[in-house]
Amino acid sequence: MSSRARRQRILRDEDDEDDEYTQPSTSGTQRESKRIRQEDSSYNELDSQLTAEQTSQDLERKVNDTVRYALACEHRKQVIRKDDIARKVLTDRSRSFPAIFDKTQAKLRHLFGMELTELVSKEKSNPAKRAAANGKVVLSKTYVLRNILPEEQNDPQIIHHTDDEYQSTGLLYVILSLIFVNEQSMNDELLMSHLNRLRIPEESETFGDRARMLDGFVKQGYLQRQKLNAEVAQSDQPVFQYSWGPRAKAEVPEQNMVGLISSVYHVQGSELDRLQDSIYKAASIDT
Amino acid sequence: MATTETMNGQEQHPHEMTEYNGTHRLFMQSMLSHRILEESQAEVIYEKICDMLNADKADFGDFVAVINKEISDVDLALRRTVDEYNSSAIIALVNTRGDEVAQLATTYTANEIGFFKRVLELIVTADDEAFSLGSMAAIREGPKLKPAFSQRETEELLNKLVADKWLMRRRDGYYVLHMRSIIELQNYLKETFENEIHECLMCMEIVTVGERCSQGRCEVRLHTHCAAGYFPEQDNGSEIKCPTCGTTWARDNTIGTIRQ
């Protein structure tokens, strides 16, 4: 976009904003002003004034674009890649990423009570690379937009979720718990047999195509699916292993998962402590 | 961040009321999830938020104004208007940038948007300003596209467009524009269908359900609720006239309503 077009857009946006607050009183005024806006010549005298402010305005615009991009990605539960922000949103300003990113975060927190959380990288299957990472958390340059308002504010009377969302979130949490207490990973076959037992067949009215739904969870970053090599799998058929995806790790703290699982048992006091200890053990987490 | 600095000595109006705070943030999350609400529902949500956060309740209009001042930066706005179909006050979260239809691309494929645009066209250009499209006619459009949608895919897509509040299925089974489309796509509609889309003479908003002047060349259209406010009660059968051309106004000369 040329700088003139961009300026015009900024000016046009300011105009639109005015429309928000003023009731148009006579017919034709809207059309009239639209025609004036389209005339380039009326902005010529602004050219010289604008160059000085251009840099900071430009930066501000990129921050706002990044906010919008983050909201749009989150709307379809898609992970947000740093590369995509740089390429699709920042374009010629991609070197200003750190500054723009900080301002974007501040704006997301302020306006919506949300922030971008960087996802932990996939654990490297290659032992050499894992060694190189030296047990440190490897960040992935991908983000999800996370709600940072206190949990009790996520009240169904305030925040609307569709029935589909409730159903798929419910099932997702069941799958995450099953994987969690199975030492954090579970092969394909075992997961499918659990789902069969829960009467979630390959095709159902509620959840549709089961495989497609699992693909969706993988794509959204809630689940991670890895193909095991033939030696480990001890099978000539390809074997896939499911574990928590980076988004689940970012959104669901371990203690919440333990709390969720233990709540099913309705126990209290020392019995609850013992139960939670055994859940941590099943998840092979040292307490 | 535009936090308003308060003047000294304003005991009457504590600055908490005019400053963007937790109540505004949570209301924005609510609007992001609903997109469009009856204003009465929105006010109930606002009250619930104030209770929850232990905050003083401001006038709802002022509360919305504080939000609009802040979110205009990111080309969003809360727009308050009247539902053409049932005359109730509504509030919607809208994109104010000109690329409204492109916004759909966040949840629809290019082909699905192509289909939606075709349905919009058929609704807006329907004969005699009916602003509606029969369900069979809508389903027949899918297979005509390139690449074609099967009949089943077309039905699923129409259901999704209804669920996402872009289209509405009227009780006679016809598809009409949902208020969300009328509000969010108003620039697209006005620019694409310059001849078919009229603005109400009273409120200047797009009108697809209302009354029209009986003089064929006169472009005056009024929303049902705007007309009800403009024309006095017809208690003695006195003649009412078009505010622009003076032609006798027939209240039953309607557009966008269910036809016999």
Answer whether A140's CB lies under 8 Å from A249's CB.
no
Residues spanned by the domain of A229:
161-252
Answer whether A176's CB lies under 8 Å from A214's CB.
no
Verify whether the Cβ–Cβ distance A159 to B30 is below 8 Å: yes
Say how many CB pairs under 8 Å bridge A and B.
93
By C-alpha distance, the chain B residue nearest A161 is B33
Q: Does A76 touch chain B if contact means CB atoms closer than 8 Å? A: yes
For the domain that residue B82 is a member of, what is the CATH number? 3.90.1150.220
Task: Answer yes or no: do A59 and A146 share one domain.
Answer: yes
Residues spanned by the domain of B242:
197-260
Task: Answer yes or no: do A111 and A124 share one domain.
Answer: yes
Tell me the DSSP string of A232-244.
HHTSSS-EEEEEE
Is residue B90 included in any domain, yes or no?
Answer: yes
pLDDT tens, B165-183?
999 999 999 999 999 999 9
Task: Answer yes or no: do A225 and A244 share one domain.
Answer: yes
Task: Answer yes or no: do B183 and B205 share one domain.
Answer: no
Task: Answer yes or no: do B173 and B212 share one domain.
Answer: no
For the domain that residue A212 is a member of, what is the CATH number? 1.10.10.1210
Verify whether the Cβ–Cβ distance A157 to B20 is below 8 Å: no
By C-alpha distance, the chain A residue nearest B3 is A110
For the domain that residue A134 is a member of, what is the CATH number? 1.10.10.1200
Q: Does A77 touch chain B if contact means CB atoms closer than 8 Å? A: no
Closest by Cβ to A113, choosing from B29, B79, B204? B29
Domain finish residue from A109, A125, A156: A156
Confidence of residue A56 (pLDDT cuts 50, 70, 90): confident
Task: Answer yes or no: do B175 and B216 share one domain.
Answer: no
Chain B residues with beta carbon closer than 8 angstroms to that of A68: 74-75
pLDDT of amino acid A30? 45
Answer whether B249's CB lies under 8 Å from B213's CB.
yes
pLDDT of amino acid A166? 87
Return d(Cα B129, Cα B253) in angstroms, integer. Answer: 11
The residue to which tokens 């932990």 are assigned? A120
- For residue A150, the one-letter residue type is P
* Beta-bridge mates of residue A77: none
Is residue A122 included in any domain, yes or no?
Answer: yes
Interface of chain B against chain A, CB under 8 Å? 1, 20, 22, 25-26, 28-30, 32-34, 45, 48-49, 52-53, 65, 68, 70-75, 77, 79, 96-98, 103, 106-107, 163, 199, 201, 203-204
CA distances (Å), origin B33, targets A80, A104, A158, A159, A275: 20, 21, 9, 6, 37
Task: Answer yes or no: do B177 and B244 share one domain.
Answer: no
Task: Answer yes or no: do B74 and B138 share one domain.
Answer: no
Domain finish residue from B81, B97, B113: B97
Mean pLDDT computed over every residue of chain B: 89
Is residue B6 included in any domain, yes or no?
Answer: no
Is residue A91 included in any domain, yes or no?
Answer: yes
Is residue A17 included in any domain, yes or no?
Answer: no
Task: Answer yes or no: do B84 and B108 share one domain.
Answer: no
Chain B residues with beta carbon closer than 8 angstroms to that of A161: 33
For chain A, list the strands marked E by DSSP. 80-81, 114-120, 139-147, 185-187, 203-204, 208-209, 223-228, 239-244
pLDDT of amino acid B160? 92
Verify whether the Cβ–Cβ distance A68 to B74 is below 8 Å: yes
For the domain that residue B259 is a member of, what is the CATH number? 3.30.40.10
What percentage of chain A has pLDDT greater than the value 90? 33
Average pLDDT over residues A162-173: 88
pLDDT of amino acid B234? 61
Domain finish residue from B190, B208, B237: B190
pLDDT of amino acid B237? 67
For the domain that residue B149 is a member of, what is the CATH number? 1.10.10.10
Chain A residues with beta carbon closer than 8 angstroms to that of B25: 110-113, 149
Closest by Cβ to A76, choosing from B28, B79, B107? B107
Residue B126 dihedral angles phi and psi, to the nearest 5°: -55, 145
Answer whether A246's CB lies under 8 Å from A146's CB.
no
What tokens does B26 get?
Answer: 């949570």
Tell me the three state secondary structure of residue B247: coil
Q: How many domains in chain B? A: 3
Domain finish residue from B139, B166, B190: B190
Is residue A20 included in any domain, yes or no?
Answer: no
pLDDT tens, B111-152?
999 999 999 999 999 999 999 999 999 999 999 998 999 999
Task: Answer yes or no: do A150 and A215 share one domain.
Answer: no
pLDDT of amino acid A209? 87
CA dihedral over B154, B155, B160, B162, signed as positive or negative: positive
Average pLDDT over residues A204-208: 82
For residue A25, pLDDT over 60 is answered with no
Task: Answer yes or no: do A150 and A58 share one domain.
Answer: yes
**Spatial CA neighbour of B190 closest among A65, A16, A64:** A16
For chain B, list the strands marked E by DSSP. 36-38, 76-82, 89-95, 167-169, 175-177, 198-199, 206-207, 210-212, 221-223, 254-255
Is residue A3 included in any domain, yes or no?
Answer: no
Is residue A137 included in any domain, yes or no?
Answer: yes
The answer to ipTM > 0.90 is no
Is residue A278 included in any domain, yes or no?
Answer: no
* Between A145 and A128, residue with greater pLDDT: A145
pLDDT of amino acid B5? 42
For residue B154, pLDDT over 90 is answered with yes
For residue B243, pLDDT over 70 is answered with yes
Task: Answer yes or no: do A246 and A193 share one domain.
Answer: yes
- For residue B33, the one-letter residue type is S
Chain B residues with beta carbon closer than 8 angstroms to that of A12: 98
The residue to which tokens 């092979």 are assigned? A284
Nearest chain B CA: its distance from A121 CA (Å): 25
pLDDT tens, B46-55?
999 999 999 9
Answer whether B49's CB lies under 8 Å from B26's CB.
yes
Is residue A40 included in any domain, yes or no?
Answer: no
**Running DSSP on this structure, what letter comes out for residue B193?**
T
pLDDT tens, A101-124?
999 999 999 999 999 998 877 655
Is residue B162 included in any domain, yes or no?
Answer: yes
Task: Answer yes or no: do A83 and A143 share one domain.
Answer: yes
Q: Which of A223-232, A274-283, B187-196, B218-227 has the weakest average pLDDT?
A: A223-232
Q: How many domains in chain A? A: 2
Task: Answer yes or no: do A188 and A146 share one domain.
Answer: no
Is residue B41 included in any domain, yes or no?
Answer: yes
Closest by Cβ to B73, choosing from A27, A64, A73? A64
Confidence of residue A23 (pLDDT cuts 50, 70, 90): very low
Is residue B213 included in any domain, yes or no?
Answer: yes
CA distances (Å), origin B225, targets A21, B36, B47, B251: 21, 20, 28, 12
Task: Answer yes or no: do B80 and B43 share one domain.
Answer: yes
Task: Answer yes or no: do A149 and A223 share one domain.
Answer: no
Return d(Cα B46, Cα B63) in angstroms, integer. Answer: 9
Q: Which of A66-70, A125-129, B243-247 has the weakest average pLDDT?
A: A125-129
Answer whether B203's CB lies under 8 Å from B226's CB.
yes
Task: Answer yes or no: do A198 and A143 share one domain.
Answer: no
pLDDT of amino acid A9? 43
